[in-house]
Amino acid sequence: MVITNKLLVGIFVFCIFLCSTVYAGNSILVAEEEVKEVVFAGETAVFKLSISNSQNFDDSFRFSILNIDWEFETDPFVLSVDSEDIEVVEMRFSPSSKLGPGKHGVTVLIYSLSDETVFTEHIFDIRVIDFYDVISTTLELPNDINPQKQLVIKAILENNYDEHLEDLTFKLESDFFQDEINFSLAAYETQVSEFSVDFEGDVEEGVYDIVLKIYNGEDLLLENTVEMLVGYYPDVDETRSPESGFLLNRILVTKTNHGTSTSHELYTKRFSFFERLFTSTDPQPDQLFSEGGYYTLQWEFDLSPGDTRQIFIETNYRFFAILVSVLLILLYFFYNYFKRDVSLTKKVVTVKHSQEGISTMNILLVLKNKTNKTLKNLKVMDNLVNVAGEPTNFGTISPSVVKRGHSGARMMWNIESLEKGAEVIISYQAKCKVQVIGHLNIPTAVAKYIKNGRPIVVKSNKVKLFS
C-alpha cells in the first residue's frame, strides 16, 4: 500500500545506530540495511529496516513519510514485533518526476499502534542521479551519406558512473531506419558499437534527425538528437547483359544514375584488329585509340540524376563466315569441274642419227591417274610430222589405230581402265628426216576421257628437238 503524507519536514535525526538509529525512550531500536540507495529518475530505492521492540509487551508499528516529493510503500504495511524481538520491514521509495538529481534525505516516522507516545524517526539517504550525466553518447557519421548504400554508424557509449549499468537498450530512430542493441557498461567503461542500417523510401538531399534513446526495460532513461546530412551524391549502377551465339558476341551496357547529382561517366572496350573489323556499336564511340595492335573504343558522357544510358556492342563473324564458305564451295566446285584427273607426259628418250640423214627417236608417253578412284575408257592420241615410215617397236600397249599421211603419222591407244594412283607407259619408235630436226617441234600428245557426262581433253607437255 502506498502512503503519501504532505507535511512540512521539521524533524531532525538526533543519533545514528549502525547506519542510522533513533531512540524513543529506548522503546524502539531501528537499524537500516541499504539494498538500493542510488536510483535514476523513475526508479525505486529499496531499504530493509530492522525494528527492535524493547517494550515488555508485543506491539505493532506503522510508518509515515514526511517528504511530499516521494511515494512510499512498506511490506508489510503494519509490522508486528514481539516483546524483546526484532522484525524486518522492506521500504520502497519512488521520487516524483519533478524531483531533481542529487542526494536526498527522506524522513520516515515509525510509531506504535498501542502507545502514541512511542515513536521514532529515521532518515534514509537516497541518491538520485541524472542519466544524462551518467552515460555520454557520441555518434560518428560519414561525411558523405549515400542513402542508396548501407550506412555504418559508430556509437560510442561511456559510463561516467562508479556503478555497473546493466539491462540497457540503445535505440537509433529516424524517418528512414531504426535499429537497437542491448548492452551493459561496467563502471567507467567505454564501449564502441556499430549499426549497419539501410535507408527505406526515397531520400532527398537535406538534414535529418537521428534520435538516440536508452531504455531500462520500458523506462526511457536518456534521449538525444543528432543531425544527419544527406548531400548531393552520384550513384551510378552499371549492368552488362552479354549474349553469345554461333560466331556472334553481343553486350548491352546499361548505366543508370540513382543519385542526386550528375555523374561524368567513361566506358572503354578493347578489341584486336580482326575483332574490330567485324564490330559495330550504337552509339558510335567518342574516341578510338590504336596501340600495340589493339583498338580501344571510348564513350564519354554526363549522366544526370535518374537518367539511363545504353551502349550496344556487337561482334558478328557470321556474314564473313558465310562469304568465305560460299567462296570455298565455289572454288571447290570449279576446281573439281575443271581439274584434270590425269596427267600426260611426253618424252623423247634417245635420238640416233644415220648417214642417210634419218634420225631414230624412242618416244615415251606416261599417263597417270591423279584421283582416288578408277578411271575408265581413256584414249591417248599422238601425232608425228616429217616421219620416214610408220612408227614401230611399240611396247606393252599397242595402238588401236595407226594412220600415216603425207605429212606425218597419227596413233591412238584405248585404255579400258586406270586404277587410282596408277600409271601406264606407252612407248614406240619413229624415224624422222634429219635436215628438219633442228627446226622440229614435236606435237603434243592428247588424252581424252568422259567426266560428269562431258569430254575432258588433257594435253601433254611440248618437246623440242635440236640438231
pLDDT (tens digit per residue) in 179-210: 999 999 998 999 999 999 998 887 888 889 99
Examine residue 283 and say whether the peptide bond preceding it is cis (omega within 30 degrees of 0).
Answer: yes
Instruction: Check: CB of residue 35 under 8 Å from CB of residue 89.
Output: no
* pTM of this prediction exceeds 0.75: no
At residue 127, the pLDDT reads 87
At residue 395, the pLDDT reads 86
Distance CA 128, CA 39 (A): 5
At residue 149, the pLDDT reads 81
Instruction: Check: CB of residue 81 under 8 Å from CB of residue 53.
Output: yes
According to CATH, the topology of domain 236-318 is Immunoglobulin-like (2.60.40)
CA–CA distances in Å: residue 139 to residues 15, 136, 266, 333: 50, 10, 37, 83
At residue 107, the pLDDT reads 92
Examine residue 95 and say whether the peptide bond preceding it is cis (omega within 30 degrees of 0).
Answer: no
Question: How would you label 152-178 residue by residue, b for 16+ Cβ within 10 Å and e otherwise?
Answer: ebebebbbebeeebeebbbbbbbebbe
At residue 26, the pLDDT reads 66
Domain ranges for the chain, please list them. Answer: 2-129, 132-230, 236-318, 342-464
**What is the average pLDDT score of the chain?**
84
Secondary structure string (H, E, C) spanning 303-316: ECCCCEEEEEEEEE
C-alpha cell at 113: 499502534
- Residue ranges of the chain whose pLDDT lies below 50: 1-25, 437
At residue 112, the pLDDT reads 92
Q: Which CATH superfamily is domain 132-230 in?
A: Immunoglobulins (2.60.40.10)
Instruction: Check: CB of residue 313 under 8 Å from CB of residue 270.
Output: no
Class for the domain spanning 2-129: mainly beta
At residue 16, the pLDDT reads 33
Does domain 342-464 match CATH 2.60.40.1170? Answer: yes
